[in-house]
Amino acid sequence: MATPLNIAIVGASSGIGLALCRQLLDEGHSVWAFSRSTGALPSHANLHYVPFDALGAESLQASLPAQLHGLAYCPGTINLMPFHRIKPEQFLEEFELNVMGAIRSIQSALPALKSAGSASVVLFSTVAVQTGMPFHASIAAAKGAIEGLTRSLAAEYAAQRIRFNAIAPSLTDTPLASRLTATPEKREASDKRHPIGRMGTPEDLASLSAFLLSEKSSWITGQVLHADGGMGSLKLIG
């Protein structure tokens, strides 16, 4: 069994964050779960729930252990609209949750991450940054900033052995995506858009996140990993 770690998850009560929380607890780690509500969080001796709004000004720092081995920032948005209809304030709203929320969380967790001696931070981008898609302007702009932030921080904190990586998924079967998969026809269409024949599950992304948070990935930093069912890099012919 791996050495137990202290991991913080922002956005832990639903979707990918919840799946990651469950996996880490099953592996024997201690999880600090930050979210607006408990949602479907399990009852577990190693789970420490902290009410938290990623859009607020509060800091993670006072609620964290002295040593933090990993941080995953999971909040996100799926607001698909024609570019000409997106108001400037809507771009700012996307940026505030996806980018500024991550920045505030990382900055307030830095003392505990540094104290661990070796730590990992996992952020989330989207396939729509690498692969141009219509109606994705606001989310692609925000997540493009996340990819730049990931590489910059990976370089800045490499000497302190804090690794930064991002995961760029395609559509994943989470509550956030429910309106895009609300009918059997929509779900089938979403599956068919992926070369591998299905859209992602929260567990797909949780497994990759858990790997990046662990010492098994200790030589990986500054990367954007595309867990997207092949959508971003494959085109099937025939």
The CATH number of residue 76's host domain is 3.40.50.720
pTM: 0.95
Q: Facing residues of 7 across strands?
A: 31, 70
Mean pLDDT computed over 167-183: 84
Structure tokens at 139: 């989310």
| CA 152 to mean position of chain CA atoms | 17
The model's pLDDT over 212-232, given as tens digits with 9 standing for 90+, comes to 999 999 999 999 999 999 999
Residue 202 lies in a domain: yes
Residue 173 lies in a domain: yes
Q: What is the pLDDT of residue 238?
A: 65
**CB 208 within 8 Å of CB 227:** yes
Distance in angstroms (rounded) separating the CA atoms of residues 143 and 217: 23
Q: Report the percent of the chain where pLDDT is more than 90.
A: 84
Distance in angstroms (rounded) separating the CA atoms of residues 152 and 149: 5
Residue 238 lies in a domain: no
Q: In terms of residues, how long is the chain? A: 238
221: number of Cβ within 10 Å: 21
Domain that holds residue 71: 6-225
Average pLDDT, rounded, for the chain = 94
Q: Facing residues of 123 across strands?
A: 166
Provide the number of structural domains found in the chain.
1
Strand order in the sheet with 70-73: 47-51, 30-35, 6-10, 70-73, 119-124, 162-167, 224-225
Residue 230 lies in a domain: no
Distance in angstroms (rounded) separating the CA atoms of residues 151 and 10: 20
Question: What is the b/e burial string over 155-175, where b = at least 16 CB atoms within 10 angstroms of the residue's CB?
Answer: eebeeeebbbbbbbbbbbbbe
Residue 234 lies in a domain: no
Letter for the amino acid at 116? A
Residue 166 lies in a domain: yes
The model's pLDDT over 18-64, given as tens digits with 9 standing for 90+, comes to 999 999 999 999 999 999 999 999 999 999 999 999 999 889 999 99
Contacts of 2 (CB under 8 A, 6+ apart): 27, 28, 214, 215
Mean pLDDT computed over 89-93: 96
Residue 63 lies in a domain: yes
Structure tokens at 185: 């026809």
Residue 170 lies in a domain: yes
